[in-house]
Amino acid sequence: MKVFRHLAIATLVAVPMVASGQAATPAADPRLDRLKTEALAAVEGKAKMVQEIVDMLFSFGELGFQEFESSKYLTGILEQNGFKIERGYAGIPTAWVARWGSGKPVISLGSDIDGIPQANQKPAVGYREAQVPFAPGHGEGHNSGQAVNIAAAIVVKQIMEREKIPGTLVLWPGVAEEQLGTKAHLVRAGLFKDVDATIFTHVSSDLGVSWGTQGANALISAEFRFRGQTAHSAGAPWRGKSALDAVLLMAQAWEMKREHLELAQRSHYVIPDGGDQPNVVPQTASIWFYFRHLDYERTMPMFEAARKMAEGAALMTDTKVDTVMIIGSAMDQHFSKSIAETMSKNIVRVGMPKWDNNDITLAKALQKELGVRETGLDTTANEVRAPNPNQVRTGGGSDDIGDVSWVVPTVTLRYPANIPGGPGHNWANAIAMATPIAHKGTLQGAKVQALTLLDMYLTPKVIADAWDYFRTVQTKDRKYIPFIRPIDQPAIWLNAEIMSKYRDEMRKYYYDPSKFKTYLEQLGIKYPTVKGIAQ
Ligand SMILES: [Zn+2]
């Protein structure tokens, strides 16, 4: 997901008043203040654990559906800390659910764990330098979010045990988020059925939270496969029926369609199968699209239009549409007002990390390298962000946390583990992700997370208000309709080939915390390594 900044136009959004009759909801627990102070110190005490998790996942650099090392490592930590693990959740080999506690409320914590193709990059080096050239890497920063959740969960669990506070913690990974590949399947498998609230965490360069409709688009990811007939491309081309021709015509048809779509749409494609070699007329070919628009109602017609184009392209080339697969999807996002407002107070209390000169030097050097404004690092935590009315939504990235947000009150905590100004999905966005910038920003996120969990476990009103908003405002006129059809299954084969190509070489650089304090120490990289400063 790419995070976009938007103007807060709170005054344009009419939010109905909460219905009366809520007076019976119990107030905050008298222990709350004391326990929050204790939790802040306890999370600070997890700084080493946070650094190790962040660095370890960075060194694995695994792509979506192939997060085997990452999931093994994370579930190991959770198991050691008393969580019960269910592996292979929803038929996804790298998905898992970790549970601890009993009774209500049930609060789920999620965060993505997958990387970006060809984003492999030496951390702390302020210019392009791969550790393993062309290999995947954490060019989105998904190596940090689980550390936020795990550190907070362990601290809060210890407090709940001692204080006999009822409630359940449920942790889960966003597998293959870059393929928008699994959260709709987690919903379908029933993960959120008994969940009272979800806090999702996502890397950012700022510390903040939002409520209501946000900028992210809904999305359908679909692959269209064509089947033709092979022939010698020179000896008997008249006997061939080119599946690649169908792919090219379909792509061209979509370029024509683009002119007639509302501006907030995003659509893009790659050709995973374009044939084998030029002298063989391609018998098979495929084109993989992401269709994005503001909501379900606008995204679904893009997919339906593409289906017609596929049929047209097959007619024109005398080939057949072999399969149309939905291999990923995401609903647009709507976040909980009461949880966001509760979290926002904790954000103000925790504040931004204390950056030092090395952090700022790396940030400015990278910004200079990228030709963007040399602003360094964010220093002030953000106010809670109010919704954007549709007329100012201009479209953007997507995250399948949207699906979760339509079945249970949800917020996304953005925590400051990265440098502002990166293009996203790029090696530049990986540079900070195993440095003190990521370690400090992730720890700060974990503090906000722990405080917010305590608010939710000890103040029933937070969750009661969240459900009131969810029922009377968010889902008053709109219900969740998943994009995935009963026949659609998680695309667990994705990225297997790429990972098998690079894994052996990447394994040489897996982080070994028993020998090295940090991953930078293991790689022998000076912090920061930037142009113009003698090494
Ligand atoms: Zn993301």
Q: What percent of the chain has pLDDT over 90?
A: 90
**Structure tokens, 142:** 């998904």
For residue 277, the CA-to-ligand 1 centroid distance in Å is 36
For residue 177, the CA-to-ligand 1 centroid distance in Å is 7
More confident residue, 151 or 391: 151
Confidence (pLDDT) at 391: 55
For residue 43, the CA-to-ligand 1 centroid distance in Å is 24
Buried b (16+ CB within 10 A) or exposed e, 381-399: bbebbbbbeeeebebbbbb
**Structure tokens, 205:** 């360069």
For residue 111, the CA-to-ligand 1 centroid distance in Å is 9
For residue 297, the CA-to-ligand 1 centroid distance in Å is 24
What are the CA-CA distances from residue 273 to residues 118, 233, 245, 270, 276 (Å)?
Answer: 19, 17, 12, 9, 8
Half-sphere exposure of 213 (CA within 13 A, CB side): 23
For residue 290, the CA-to-ligand 1 centroid distance in Å is 16
Confidence (pLDDT) at 87: 98
CA distance linking residue 274 with residue 283, whole number of Å: 10
Confidence (pLDDT) at 12: 38
Q: What pLDDT digit, counting tens, does each position of 373-384 carry?
A: 999 999 999 988
> Which residue has 């659910």 as its token pair?
97
Q: What pLDDT digit, counting tens, does each position of 71-111 carry?
A: 999 999 999 999 999 999 999 999 999 999 999 999 999 99
CA distance linking residue 399 with residue 473, whole number of Å: 22
For residue 424, the CA-to-ligand 1 centroid distance in Å is 9
Q: In what order do the strands lie in the sheet with 266-273?
A: 266-273, 284-293, 218-227, 320-330
Confidence (pLDDT) at 9: 36
For residue 47, the CA-to-ligand 1 centroid distance in Å is 23
What are the CA-CA distances from residue 308 to residues 221, 224, 240, 311, 312 (Å)?
Answer: 16, 11, 24, 5, 6
For residue 332, the CA-to-ligand 1 centroid distance in Å is 14
Cβ atoms 146, 62 nearer than 8 A:
no
What are the CA-CA distances from residue 221 to residues 136, 256, 300, 491 (Å)?
Answer: 21, 20, 11, 11
For residue 533, the CA-to-ligand 1 centroid distance in Å is 32
For residue 79, the CA-to-ligand 1 centroid distance in Å is 26
For residue 425, the CA-to-ligand 1 centroid distance in Å is 9
Q: What pLDDT digit, counting tens, does each position of 488-507 carry?
A: 999 999 999 999 999 999 99
CA distance linking residue 473 with residue 15, whole number of Å: 7
Q: What is the mean pLDDT of residues 456-468?
A: 97
For residue 202, the CA-to-ligand 1 centroid distance in Å is 6
Question: Can you say how many angstroms the Cα of residue 480 is from the centroid of all Cα atoms in its chain?
Answer: 20
Cβ atoms 68, 165 nearer than 8 A:
no
CA distance linking residue 533 with residue 535, whole number of Å: 6
For residue 410, the CA-to-ligand 1 centroid distance in Å is 16
For residue 204, the CA-to-ligand 1 centroid distance in Å is 9
> Which residue has 């409709």 as its token pair?
213
Half-sphere exposure of 38 (CA within 13 A, CB side): 14
For residue 360, the CA-to-ligand 1 centroid distance in Å is 24
CA distance linking residue 238 with residue 359, whole number of Å: 63
Which residues lie across from 202 on neighbouring strands?
414
Q: Which residue from 14, 3, 1 is spatially nearest to 386, judged by alpha carbons?
A: 14
What are the CA-CA distances from residue 329 to residues 377, 404, 444 (Å)?
Answer: 33, 12, 31
What is the set of domains in the chain, with CATH numbers? 30-215+332-520 (3.40.630.10), 218-329 (3.30.70.360)
Instruction: Read off the pLDDT band of 533 (50, 70, 90).
Output: low
Task: Kindly tell me the sign of the dihedral angle through the C-alpha atoms of 399, 400, 405, 410.
Answer: negative
For residue 273, the CA-to-ligand 1 centroid distance in Å is 26
Phi and psi torsions of 52, nearest 5°: -65, -40
For residue 140, the CA-to-ligand 1 centroid distance in Å is 6
What are the CA-CA distances from residue 121 to residues 73, 129, 136, 137 (Å)?
Answer: 22, 6, 9, 7
Is 135 a residue whose pLDDT tops 70? yes
For residue 137, the CA-to-ligand 1 centroid distance in Å is 13
Q: What pLDDT digit, counting tens, does each position of 5-44 carry?
A: 333 333 333 344 444 444 455 667 999 999 999 999 999 9
For residue 341, the CA-to-ligand 1 centroid distance in Å is 23
> Which residue has 């006997």 as its token pair?
239
Phi and psi torsions of 89, nearest 5°: -60, 140
Q: What pLDDT digit, counting tens, does each position of 310-345 carry?
A: 999 999 999 999 999 999 999 999 999 999 999 999
For residue 203, the CA-to-ligand 1 centroid distance in Å is 7
Extract long-range pairs of 8-17: CB within 8 Å, 24+ residues apart: 8/383, 8/385, 8/386, 9/386, 9/388, 9/389, 9/392, 10/386, 10/387, 12/389, 13/212, 13/386, 13/387, 13/389, 15/337, 15/473, 16/472, 16/473
Which residues lie across from 268 on neighbouring strands?
290
For residue 185, the CA-to-ligand 1 centroid distance in Å is 18
CA distance linking residue 171 with residue 49, whole number of Å: 17
